[in-house]
Structure 1
Amino acid sequence: MMFVPPVLIAVIGPVEPALLTAWVAHYRSLGIARFHLAFHFPDHVAPDRRRRVLATSHDLGIGPEAISTGPWHEHTNTDLRNALRERAGTGWHLLADSDEFQSYSAPMAELIAAAELSGTGTVGGLMLDRVASDGALAGFDAEQELDTVYPLGGFLTHRLLRGDPRKIVLAHSGVPVASGNHRAEGHRPVNRPPVLVHHFKWRSGVQDDVARRAAYSADGTWRASSPARLSEARRLLDHLRRHDGRIAVDSTDMIFRPVSLVAVPSWWSGEATRLVDAWRPPSPPADQSPSASTISSPSS
């Protein structure tokens, strides 16, 4: 039987048009032809920025299936994603945020066939955080290449933020997936190594975005079902404050190394497999109280 590539499901925020363009091109290069996208814009996003993002989507030949505005509660993304999955219908879904670029060391068709044979209905991935060579939160535009601007990869989400670095990258339509696409209860992926998910979150503007997330999560403006979103935001802001607004790329804990979108590094299989097999949720911190600078009001 001929392999039919999965439909891509994603909820997109106010990203740079250049990043959205690169993201669509990347997944089209993997054989993805069907995109089911929803766009959500928090209230602080200027109308002109919304128009540019939506115009870019239309220029790429992808009509948004839903456009929403308002607070970015934890359930907002999940609700929109689930509605897209329902519309996409029966079959396999590729799940990817707009800053996540998946890289496969085995053919997607083989991974899906193995997942069907195992009965899990899922294929798992692991995030590798991409940063600039000097740790600066660098901007990205249409004249640049992602590998040039963010040449280093490391385990920032896992080591620094103590967040869940695991991702469900492919799921059958009958498998419910948790918030953030981090897990599917009762359907733990068995593929090893996990699919490499290049995570290009650490760009210009992210410090304001994370400060806003921390402030709004702390005061309840943006609701969350667990303290993880707030604690991860505080850890990043504290790190940036201690390193003059940069990510410490010389950290021996996060292990930043040169990587590229065009090849899975030779060390990935062993290191990523050990990490994903050993990962457990971190214990709650003893002191949840933030410093004043950590939860200062975000800029617009």
Structure 2
Amino acid sequence: MLSAPPALIAVVGPVEPPLFEAWVRYYQRLGVERFLIAFHFPEHVPDAQQHQLQAACRELGIIPTGTSTGPWHEHTNTQLRDALRHHAGRGWHLFADADEFQQYAAPLPEVIDQAEDSGHRVVGGLMLDRVATTGQLTGWRPEDGLDHSYPLGGHLTHRLLHGDPRKILLARHDVPVSSGNHRSPGHRPDPDRICAVHHFKWRSGVLDDLRRRVQHFSTGTWQEQTPAVRDEAARLLAHVRQHSGTIDTSDQRFAFRQVSLDRMPDTWPAEARDIVTTWRPYARSTRDRGE
């Protein structure tokens, strides 16, 4: 007997309504039936933009569990997420940011059954950063679709930003998950069944978001637990300054190539296993600290 579909848990910020709709439709096609969503809007987001996204949510048949406004402290997402988990109750929980489209090798109930049969209480993923062919941080049109607008996938998060590319995608209700859904203390996913997390972050408007993040964390307007998030944003901003406002898709370190939400890259299982089993936190240098 196959497991029940997981409840999707997400804290959603001010994304564009077409992306939110594409995201919901994508997970519905994966078999998700229950969405527990909390909106959080920082101070700079206009009321009209908030209402537009909330209306789009309701038009999709989803009633938000809650909406909050104010500073986006580093602990904000974790607190809201854990409240959603408590509300979701027993069973398996699926964690996905609104720019993350998870790609599984089997239907979700089978993925969960495989994890349980092998004694794993979590299922892991690895970020596959999606960008435009030119590396420009462009907008996209719903009629074109995300695959067409951002056809390249590569390893930008950890090879440029030195961020943690690992993700906990699925976890039993009683399993703890760390900030950012990167780890589950005391639990490790099966390294031979790592899913792809297509990461559509690198769109129009992201540079303003990153600059705001650096400024607010640097000044203490937003509270941070470590400098890691601020450092990662600063590295991306420095990179695009050096490349005329674009991401350098020709850099072999990032391994950009044509990918699709319809099919995993043939090399993915071995590629993902190698990265998740060897990744280590980045050691900040004196230069990173600005000293």
User: How high is the TM-score relative to the length of structure 1?
Assistant: 0.94
For 1:166 and 1:32, locate their aligned partners in 2 and report how far apart those are by CA, in whole Å: 22
Name 2:277's counterpart in structure 1.
Answer: 277
2:229 maps to amino acid: R
Name 1:112's counterpart in structure 2.
Answer: 112
Name 2:38's counterpart in structure 1.
Answer: 38
Aligned residue runs from structure 1 range 157-172, under 5 A: 157-172=157-172
2:161 maps to amino acid: L
2:70 maps to amino acid: G
Are 1:70 and 2:32 an aligned pair? Answer: no
- Quick check: 1:166–1:276 contact (8 Å CA) kept in 2? yes
Are 1:229 and 2:233 an aligned pair? Answer: no
For 2:137 and 2:243, locate their aligned partners in 1 and report how far apart those are by CA, in whole Å: 12
Name 1:81's counterpart in structure 2.
Answer: 81
Percent identity over the alignment? 55
1:18 maps to amino acid: P
Runs of 4+ in 1 over 6 A off after TM superposition: none
2:38 maps to amino acid: A
Name 1:240's counterpart in structure 2.
Answer: 240
Deviation at 1:105, TM superposition (A): 1.2
Deviation at 1:191, TM superposition (A): 4.4
> Which string of whole-angstrom CA distances, capped at 9 and with x for unpartnered residues, describes residues 31-51 of structure 1?
111100000000000111111
Name 1:288's counterpart in structure 2.
Answer: 288
Name 1:197's counterpart in structure 2.
Answer: 197
- Quick check: 2:154–2:256 contact (8 Å CA) kept in 1? yes
SS at match of 2:124: strand
For 1:85 and 1:3, locate their aligned partners in 2 and report how far apart those are by CA, in whole Å: 18
Name 2:7's counterpart in structure 1.
Answer: 7
For 1:89 and 1:193, locate their aligned partners in 2 and report how far apart those are by CA, in whole Å: 26
SS at match of 1:253: helix
2:242 maps to amino acid: R
For 1:162 and 1:288, locate their aligned partners in 2 and report how far apart those are by CA, in whole Å: 11
Name 1:297's counterpart in structure 2.
Answer: none
Name 2:93's counterpart in structure 1.
Answer: 93
> Which string of whole-angstrom CA distances, capped at 9 and with x for unpartnered residues, describes residues 50-93 of structure 1?
11111100111101101000000111000000000000000000
**RMSD of the alignment, in Å?**
1.3
For 1:2 and 1:278, locate their aligned partners in 2 and report how far apart those are by CA, in whole Å: 33
Paired residue total: 291
Deviation at 1:146, TM superposition (A): 0.3
- Quick check: 1:18–1:140 contact (8 Å CA) kept in 2? no
